[in-house]
Every structure is written in structure tokens, then in C-alpha cells.
Chains A and B, each alone.
Chain A
Amino acid sequence: MKNFGYTVIKQRTIDYDQFDGRLLNEVLEMEPSFKVCLSCGGCTATCSAGDLVSFNVRRMNLLLRRGQTVELESEIKKCMLCGKCMLVCPRGINLRNVIMLVKKSILKYKPVNS
């Protein structure tokens, strides 16, 4: 195979048709309150871990819903579980359970290449 000094660039596009929903569905089944996230970002704003490192709780929801399992795994490790997010969440989402569920289930669904 020839090397021309450049190559096809991987798309940044989220290809929804490639999305593996197993992890998401498992989490939503165990913690339905997570369905009602508004992406308001209150959780991220109050986050104790977010004070110390770039960590966006709100984004977890999106990573999960877009099947970005690899990113999700590295993100979720940062949570200190202090629980402030639950106190500010306008939709009363049980976020600590979501985190624990993801932490546990992600071991099952992590893509092998990660």
C-alpha cells in the first residue's frame, strides 16, 4: 500500500446508526429518573470534582446517549460521589445511582479496543 504523506481523516460526526444502546438501556432501566435530564448543567456547575478537574456531569448523559463509551469511562472515574448534583437537579434525577450503574455496567460494554 502506497503512502502519499496524507490519509483519510476519521470523521468527528456522531454516526447514530453505529450506536450501541445496550449500556444506555441498562442504565435507564435501573434508573428511569435519568430519562428526564434537561441538560441544564446545574449538576456540572455545583460539582466538587469539577472544581478540581475538567469534569462535566451533564455531558455524561450525552456520552451515554451517543454511545461514546470510551470517553464516558474516563470521565465517570472523576466523580467523587459527594451528591451535590442531586441536591441541585431540577428534575430530581438520582445521579449517584446513575454513576454507580455506569461504573459497574461499563465493564461489560467497554469496546475491546479501548
Chain B
Amino acid sequence: MKHIVIIGGGIAGIETASALTDAGHWVTVIEKEAQVGGKLNNWSYLFPDFTPVDKIKSVLQEKCSEKDFSVLHQTEVRSILRQNGKFSIETSGEQQLEADAVVVATGYELFDARRKEEYGYKIYDHVITSADLEQLLLPNGDLTVAAGENPKRIAFVHCVGSRDEKSGNHYCSKVCCITGVKQAIELRKRLPEAEIYCFYMDLRMYGKHFEELYREAQEKYDIQFIRGRLSEASEKIDKSLLIKAEDTLSGRPLKMNVDLLVLLVGMEAGKGTTTAAATCGIGCEESGFLKTTDSFLKSNFSEQEGIFLAGSCTAPMSVNDTILHARSAAQEVNNWLLRK
């Protein structure tokens, strides 16, 4: 029986694990947190159909409990050595694991909005990120701003930490546009009176039902979209925010006062992925995400024979894409082991 070690117990990790277990392999997942699920744990509802995250989470939980693979919680990989065609892995928990194959599923980290100083995240009282908002969108979430009132005007800023030389990220994080649309609609449902604006550079509605949701946001939920990137935000004496942008379609600068500013933060290959790359001796792309040997045919293969890649450690991905990418990873690992 072959043993596969999976680094990361997020969506990708667990999905790969369960698929490989089904294929009759012995699988061990190494997760640095106390619980599996990864970034999914910070989210409440998923685009484009507002599926409650718990639905996906519980499926992952089930797989962990029902299927016969083990998860080492609060554990990280110290080192990986290749010895006569096998990998010997040392964990922070002082365990030594022997593996025939390794799957890296270390996922991503959210862009730290503080790096976009001019937006004043963590400095101005009412500037939050999409991740913060996601928590507030839960039924008991408190949306009130200064003076305990509901915000009358809310602005979303797209591409925070993405497509931005100044943030050091040239790539598009892919999911923020639709996240913004989703959250704007959720806000409208909660605050029927508020004015809601999205400041975008391009709207990249690449996925199934995304464009439809965008149209619905305009038609049914009166979300207004202004093409232009925020240059800066400043806090006013009443804690509201003065934001500046160019209304690029009218070709004139525009300033607006908002009560709440939501930054749609992008994805970055986080520390987890970078260290994994180092310990596994596999390369990163300029974006920091892990390099795949062929973007069409080998999107699960790392530069190291026997080390496979699954999920958003290779590129920004939606939950959907991650699940599919993880399944294909399992398929590839299985085929590779059979060939071996």
C-alpha cells in the first residue's frame, strides 16, 4: 500500500486526500491549524449562488471523519528528503513520515491591506476588507458605523493588492470582482436604504453565472459601478471617509463621502506556500505561486518528480476550481504511482 503525504488541510488538501483514499492509498494530511478547511473558515457565503460555507465545510468534515485517512493537526513540515525513490518527511511534531508521493496543497493568503497605506486600513475606523465584511454578513453581524447608525453610503474597492505594481502583485486574483458583487448584493439585502458603489478597473466575470449576478446587482439591487481606481481615502471629522478616484468613463476626477469602505483584497502565495516551496525544493513563479511544469497538461506537476500540486498554491482559484484541481491532482498521483 502506497503512502501519500499531503501538506495542507484546506479544501484542496482534504479533497485530494479523500480521492486518493478512495483509490485505495494510505494518506496523511499535515495541517498547521487546529482544524481543517483552511481559508474556508473565514468565509460565510459563496458566490455566485450564496451557498452557505458550512455546507461545503461539513462535507469536508465528513470526509475527514468517515474516510480512512489521518490528519496531523497543528503540525508543519520541517524537512523533506528524497531517499531511494521515497520521501522521508520530518514534522514539527517530531514525527518521521515515509511517503511514496507528496502533494503540496498549502493554498494562499489574503493580501495584507495595510500595505496599501493610502487606503488607511487599520488606521481609519470604517475601512474594512472583504474578509472582515464576510464575518459581518453573518445573521448576527453588526454593520453599524459611527454613532451606531447603519452606513448610508458604502463603497467597494476592487483590485486591492492585485494588478498593482505598488503592492508588488501584477496578477489578477480572479475571485475579488465576483466577491464584491456578491457582498454588495448581501449588503443591499441588509441595508435597503444605503447607496452602494463599486470602484473597479475591469469587471472580470469569468465564471458560470457571474455575469448574470453582476447584471442582477445593477438591475435588481441598484448597485452602482464606477470605473476608476481609488487613489486615496481620508477620514473626516465625523469618521466618514473622503475617497478620491477618477471617473475614467467621464474622464473627470471624482470625490465622494462614504460611511464604510470595503477593500476587496486579493490572494497571495502565503508564507505556507513559500516555505513549502523551499522545503520541497520546487520553484515559484514571479507571482510567488508554485510553478507547474505545463500549464495545460501538467497543471498538477511540480518540478520535482513525485511532488504534486493541488489548489490555490499554484494560482488564485475559486472554491470550485480548487475542488476540480484537487481531484485532478489525486488522479495524477494515482496514475503516477501505478506507472512507478
Contact = CB atoms under 8 A, between A and B. Distances in A.
A13 B252 contact: yes
A66 B253 contact: no
A86 B121 CA distance: 44
A36 B253 contact: no
A17 B253 contact: no
B249 interface: yes
Contacts of A12: 252-253
B257 A13 contact: no
B218 interface: yes
A59 B250 contact: yes
Contacts, number: 42
A6 interface: no
Interface in B170-225: 215, 218-219, 222, 224
Given A32-B219, A36-B215, A65-B224, A13 B253 contact: yes
Contacts of A108: none
A70 to B, nearest CB: 14
Q: How large is the interface on B (under 10, 10 to 19, 20 to 34, 35 or more residues)?
A: 10 to 19
Contact of B257 (A17, A36, A39, A65): A17
Interface string A53-68: 0000011001101100
Given A36-B215, A62-B247, A66-B247, A16 B252 contact: no
Given A35-B222, A36-B218, A62-B247, A16 B227 contact: no
B250 A36 contact: no
B255 interface: yes
A99 B254 CA distance: 25
A87 to B, nearest CB: 20
Contacts of B224: 65
Contacts of A63: 250
Interface string B246-285: 0101101111110000000000000000000000000000
Q: How large is the interface on A (under 10, 10 to 19, 20 to 34, 35 or more residues)?
A: 10 to 19
A100 B92 CA distance: 72
Given A59-B250, A66-B250, A16 B219 contact: no
B218 A35 contact: yes
A36 B214 CA distance: 9
A95 B254 CA distance: 26
A59 B252 CA distance: 12
A35 B227 CA distance: 15
A69 B253 CA distance: 17
Contact of B227 (A32, A39, A66): A39
A99 to B, nearest CB: 19
A91 interface: yes
A16 B255 contact: yes
A51 interface: no
29 contacts: A12-B252, A13-B252, A13-B253, A14-B247, A14-B250, A14-B252, A14-B253, A14-B254, A14-B255, A15-B255, A16-B255, A16-B257, A17-B255, A17-B256, A17-B257, A35-B218, A35-B219, A35-B222, A36-B218, A36-B219, A39-B249, A59-B249, A62-B247, A62-B249, A62-B250, A63-B250, A66-B247, A66-B252, A91-B215
For the complex of A and B, 4 pairs with smallest distance between CB atoms? A16-B256, A14-B254, A62-B250, A13-B253
Given A12-B252, A32-B219, A36-B218, 7 more contacts: A12-B253, A13-B253, A13-B255, A14-B253, A59-B250, A63-B250, A91-B215
